[in-house]
Amino acid sequence: MVMNLFYPEYEVIRNKGKCINCKICQNECANEVHNYNDKLKIMTDDSMKCVNCHRCIATCPTNALKIVKADYTFKQNSNWTKSTIEEIYKQSSSGGVLLSSMGNPNDYPVYWDKILINASQVTNPPIDSLREPMETKVFLGKKSNKISRDENGKLITKLEPQLEIAAPIMFAAMSYGSISYNAHEALAKASEQLGILYNTGEGGLHNKLYKYGKNTIVQVASGRFGVYKDYLEAGAAIEIKIGQGAKPGIGGHLPGSKIVGDISETRMIPEGSSAISPAPHHDIYSIEDLRQLIYSLKEATEYKKPIIVKVAAVHNIAAIASGIARSGADIIAIDGFRGGTGAAPTRIRDNVGIPIELALASVDQRLREEGIRGNISIIAGGSIRNSADIIKAIALGADAVYIATAALISLGCHLCRSCHLGKCNWGIATQQPELVERLDSNDGCTKLYNLITAWKNEIKEMMGGMGINSVEALKGNRLMLRGIGLNEKELEILGIKHAGE
Amino acid sequence: MEIQSSNLHFKELNDTIKSSSDKIINIKDCIGQRYIGSGLSNKDITIEGVPGNALGSYLNGSNIIVKANVQDAVGNTMNAGNIFVHGSSGDATGYAMRGGKIYVKGNAGYRAGIHMKAYKDKLPVLVIGGAAGSFLGEYQSGGLIIVLGLGATNDPPVGFFCSTGMHGGKIYLRCNNLPIDLPSHVLGKTADESDMNDISEYISEFCDEFGLSKEEILSHNFYVLTPNLENQYNQLYINN
């Protein structure tokens, strides 16, 4: 007897009255959910294959489709939930490690949603951001702790290298390979137009994108893929990737089957060769070793580029950040446990790391206590969802934020969390040419431009409401925040008062 | 140009090298200055004394000859060029090198040749005259690592976990025994004539630089380690 332990997670509901058998859904679905039955002259569907990415719904000319959550149910159990049971079936039938994509979807507290923002009333007038100057530009890099003069009494104005960005928002690392060329190009173009930066991720830089170097952060990860002199020279900054919020403490393995064509060229490894990123950099076992890698990069690029060190938010993040601030790094990027990924073991994604809100607050606090906050700028990432999250992050101490999931959503991503399957119907997390071409990079660029511009305006408006006219003045200004429904320990770590206090 | 380096900070020393219009640079009395030759192209550098960590990192086409030992991470992520070490080298020698050659007359520390990779016309080569420490060629994905075991007291002349995670390239060991802990995803066999032809020019270059007899070196048994492509980490994951 053939036994099927798995039932479709989603169900395709087709309104037969509206369906005109145009087969667009069939053509649009790379998961092969929809099929035209020649004999019966009707569209049929295999819901088992559906990942709920909404491509068919969005392209159906007659609105004949909807995807609903299937209501197959196990006996009600708050402990042994449907997904817990099904994961056991999957593992007991395959012996495989569960693999998922995008950020931790579980029901952990989202501290952003438990923090409220202040506004001025009477005593300190709000500012009308549409009619008065508001500064969103920030500079990332080491800040001098003292003023020094030369022998003639003139101020010494030479600064360590700084990144100048028009808004405190940058696109976080996503490698070419995890996302498509068109997605990368859209990010690069939008960054240029917005005066911000995007990040290559660890897969190297496509030679056609070198021209966006001024708006590019090039990443050096443990696999060192595509890392060589020209690549290091190409970007405005270099990021050493130590860890990623979605999968702290583990490496990556892009199978040889995905190393084809441009991906092989950009990573500088032969076609068909697996791209393995070891969990650690094997030349970094200490802060001293990290310092060595930082300075070897500074030496190779003549001290012209800030070096970013990206780490996942983990338990001892404050101590780790203190070490990084003393290692010679110019910027630290901290990635919270809700950060996205193109593929991560489910258990690690859903159980390892800590929320960015708590990590950011404790790092900023620790660096201030130690008197080294000026040594380093802080970028916070790991599920920044809107401009209010950004305001809150900056008030908790961030100099800027990284966004990636939000950027992909603006490109059409519907968060179906199936990136690791490589069949993204929206042309983002795929390398199949016919799927990639669905994403027009100019159109994507416009969407990204619109999103960041809108957020920038919202940031100005909220800052204006607080009577603050620059991002710089909001930075670390925790008096502008209040907690709602948080316990004393949480408030203590966040360094904020409760609403009403 | 000759640089008397004993009183120089690494930055001064490296700035002097980079800003010099001379192709030939001789560094005297090196006392552990780091990052010499980082990302450098088109120079011929000879070093007397012991250079510090990360010598020739990201090297992009230069010759570096060191008359003594070198410290850790020599040739880190190098792309092209040659590094000759007349003594021994520290840990992580040739980490992630993509091209060029590193010849070490003596021994190498832990994790030599780790994550070495080949690409198109680039074939990185690491030759170690003596013995190598543990984790030799870990994650190797391309290129050649050759350990000659000259003067080594162990056979094979490697530590533990040799070739762990190897998925490309070749490791040659001049010895009579294969490592006893050879992982199942790596195949070890006696080198045949074609294997030996592949490394002939590198052995010649090694012997020429260090004044050794090629004939004597080649008269000994060599093993070759290659990835067992049928036994890599397939099917490790299940879609969730």
**Is A3 among the domain residues?**
no
pLDDT grade for B237, boundaries at 50, 70 and 90 = confident
**Is A227 among the domain residues?**
yes
- CB distance A96–B235 less than 8 Å? yes
Instruction: Tell me the average pLDDT across B200-227.
Output: 97
* Residues A87, A135 within the same domain: no
Distance from CA of B119 to the nearest CA of A (A): 5
pLDDT grade for B233, boundaries at 50, 70 and 90 = low
- pLDDT for residue B234 is more than 70: no
> What was the pLDDT predicted at B220?
96
* Residues A70, A146 within the same domain: no
Q: Report the interhelical angle of A387-395 vs A356-369 (nearest 10°).
A: 30
- CB distance B117–A420 less than 8 Å? no
* Residues A390, A264 within the same domain: yes
* Residues A376, A468 within the same domain: yes
Instruction: Compute the distance between CA of residue A140 and CA of residue B151 in angstroms, rounded to an integer.
Output: 53
* Residues A148, A242 within the same domain: yes
3-state secondary structure at position A498: strand
Sign of the CA dihedral running A89, A346, A99, B236: negative
Instruction: Compute the distance between CA of residue A319 and CA of residue A337 in angstroms, rounded to an integer.
Output: 18
Domain around A86: 10-96
> What was the pLDDT predicted at A423?
95
* Residues A91, A219 within the same domain: no
What does residue A334 show for φ and ψ, rounded to 5 degrees? Answer: -110, 125
A19-28, A66-75, A188-197, B81-90: the lowest-pLDDT one: A66-75
> What was the pLDDT predicted at A127?
94
Domain stops at, among A32, A61, A96: A96
**Which residues are within 8 A (CB) of A314 and not within 5 positions of it... i.e. 6 or more apart?**
A243, A248, A249, A320, A352, A353, A354
* Residues A441, A389 within the same domain: yes
Q: Report the interhelical angle of A441-466 vs A181-194 (nearest 10°).
A: 40
Nearest to A232 among B58, B95, B240 (CB): B58
* CATH classification of the domain holding A62: 3.30.70.20
If you ran DSSP here, which 8-state letter would residue A385 be given? -
* CATH classification of the domain holding A128: 3.20.20.70
What 3 state SS string does chain B have? Answer: CEEECCCCCHHHHHHHHHHCCCCEEEEEEEECCCCCCCCCCCCEEEEEEECCCCCCCCCEEEEEEECCCCCCCCCCCCCEEEEEECCCECCCCCCCCCCCEEEECCCECCCCCCCCCCECCECCEEEECCCECCCCCCCCEEEEEEECCCCCCCCCCCCCCCCCCCCEEEEEEECCCCCCCCCCCEEEEECCHHHHHHHHHHHHHHHHHHCCCHHHHHCCCEEEEEECHHHCCCCCEEEC
Pairs of residues, one from chain A and one from chain B, whose beta carbons lie less than 8 Å apart: 128
**Which residues are within 8 A (CB) of A192 and not within 5 positions of it... i.e. 6 or more apart?**
A212, A214, A215
Instruction: Compute the distance between CA of residue B182 and CA of residue B201 in angstroms, rounded to an integer.
Output: 27
Q: Which residues of A touch B60 (CB under 8 A)?
A: 228-229
Domain stops at, among A47, A69, A96: A96
Instruction: Note which residues in 418-437 of chain A have CB less than 8 A from chain B.
Output: 420-421
Instruction: Tell me the average pLDDT across B39-44.
Output: 96
pLDDT grade for A274, boundaries at 50, 70 and 90 = confident
- CB distance A283–B120 less than 8 Å? no
* Residues A216, A72 within the same domain: no
Instruction: Compute the distance between CA of residue B113 and CA of residue B97 in angstroms, rounded to an integer.
Output: 8
Instruction: Note which residues in 102-131 of chain B have CB less than 8 A from chain A.
Output: 111, 114-115, 117-120
Chain A interface disruption, residue of B17, B77, B138, most A CBs within 10 A: B77
**Is A21 among the domain residues?**
yes
* Residues A89, A130 within the same domain: no
**Is A109 among the domain residues?**
no
> What was the pLDDT predicted at B235?
60
Instruction: Record the pTM.
Output: 0.95
Instruction: Tell me the average pLDDT across A36-55.
Output: 95
* Residues A87, A145 within the same domain: no
> What was the pLDDT predicted at B104?
98
A4-8, A77-81, A307-311, B17-21: the lowest-pLDDT one: A4-8
A156-160, A208-212, B95-99: the lowest-pLDDT one: A156-160
Cα→Cα distances A192→A166, B74, B237, Å: 10, 37, 38
**Is A5 among the domain residues?**
no
Q: CB-based contact (8 Å) between A223 and chain B?
A: yes
For residue B57, the chain A residue with the least C-alpha distance is: A296
Q: Please give the structure tokens belonging to residue A213.
A: 């170097």
Nearest to A100 among B76, B168, B240 (CB): B240
Instruction: Compute the distance between CA of residue B75 and CA of residue B94 in angstroms, rounded to an integer.
Output: 5
**Is A266 among the domain residues?**
yes
Catalogue all structural domains in chain B, each as residue range(s) with its CATH number.
Answer: 88-231 (2.160.20.60)
Type and span of the H or E element at A161: none
Amino acid of residue A422 = G
Domain stops at, among A96, A128, A155: A96
Q: For the segment A423-460, what is each residue's pLDDT rounded down to a tens digit?
A: 999 999 999 999 999 999 999 999 999 999 999 999 99
* Beta-strand pair A275-277/A377-381: unpaired
Half-sphere exposure of A25 (CA within 13 A, CB side): 30
Q: Which residues of B touch A229 (CB under 8 A)?
A: 39, 41, 58, 60, 79
Instruction: Tell me the average pLDDT across B164-177.
Output: 96
Task: List the one residue out of B116, B98, B210 whose CA is nearest residue A229.
Answer: B98
Distance from CA of B212 to the nearest CA of A (A): 31
Task: List the one residue out of A451, A448, A477, A453 whose CA is nearest residue A463.
Answer: A477
The per-residue b/e assignment along A192-212, b for 16 or more CB within 10 angstroms, e otherwise, is bbbebbbbbbbbbbbeebeeb
Query: What is the overall mean pLDDT for chain A?
Result: 95
Q: For the segment A340-386, what is each residue's pLDDT rounded down to a tens digit?
A: 999 999 999 999 999 999 999 999 999 999 999 999 999 999 999 99
Q: What percent of chain A has pLDDT over 90?
A: 91
Instruction: Note which residues in 171-210 of chain B have CB less than 8 A from chain A.
Output: none
Nearest to A96 among B120, B168, B238 (CB): B238
Q: Please give the structure tokens belonging to residue A227.
A: 């890392």
Across A415-501, the runs of DSSP E, i.e. the strands, are 481-483, 497-498
Q: Please give the structure tokens belonging to residue B158.
A: 């490697």
Structural domains in chain A (count): 2
**Which residues are within 8 A (CB) of A456 and not within 5 positions of it... i.e. 6 or more apart?**
A136, A166, A167, A169, A387
* Residues A92, A119 within the same domain: no
**Is A459 among the domain residues?**
yes
- CB distance B53–A346 less than 8 Å? no
- CB distance B35–A98 less than 8 Å? no
For residue B72, the chain A residue with the least C-alpha distance is: A283
**Which residues are within 8 A (CB) of A297 and not within 5 positions of it... i.e. 6 or more apart?**
A220, A232, A238, A240, A305, A307, B58
Nearest to A224 among B34, B115, B138 (CB): B115
Q: Which residues of A touch B54 (CB under 8 A)?
A: 292-293, 295-296
**Which residues are within 8 A (CB) of A154 and not within 5 positions of it... i.e. 6 or more apart?**
none
> What was the pLDDT predicted at A260?
86
Cβ contact A47:A7 at 8 Å: no
Cα→Cα distances B118→A257, A264, B63, B104, B173, Å: 17, 11, 20, 20, 19
Sign of the CA dihedral running A395, A396, A397, A402: negative
For residue A419, the chain B residue with the least C-alpha distance is: B239
> What was the pLDDT predicted at A6?
83
> What was the pLDDT predicted at B200?
97
* Residues A41, A180 within the same domain: no
- CB distance B119–A270 less than 8 Å? yes
Nearest to A98 among B35, B76, B238 (CB): B238
Distance from CA of A296 to the nearest CA of B (A): 6
Chain A interface disruption, residue of B58, B93, B170, B226, most A CBs within 10 A: B58
> What was the pLDDT predicted at B229?
81
Sign of the CA dihedral running B150, B155, B158, B159: negative
The per-residue b/e assignment along A394-415, b for 16 or more CB within 10 angstroms, e otherwise, is bbbbbbbbbbbbbbbbbbbbbb
Distance from CA of B148 to the nearest CA of A (A): 24
- CB distance A99–B58 less than 8 Å? no
**Is A317 among the domain residues?**
yes
Burial (0-12, 13-18, 19+ Cβ within 10 Å), A434: exposed
Please provide the DSSP assignment of A318-336 as one string.
Answer: HHHHHHHHTTT-SEEEEE-
- pLDDT for residue B188 is more than 90: yes
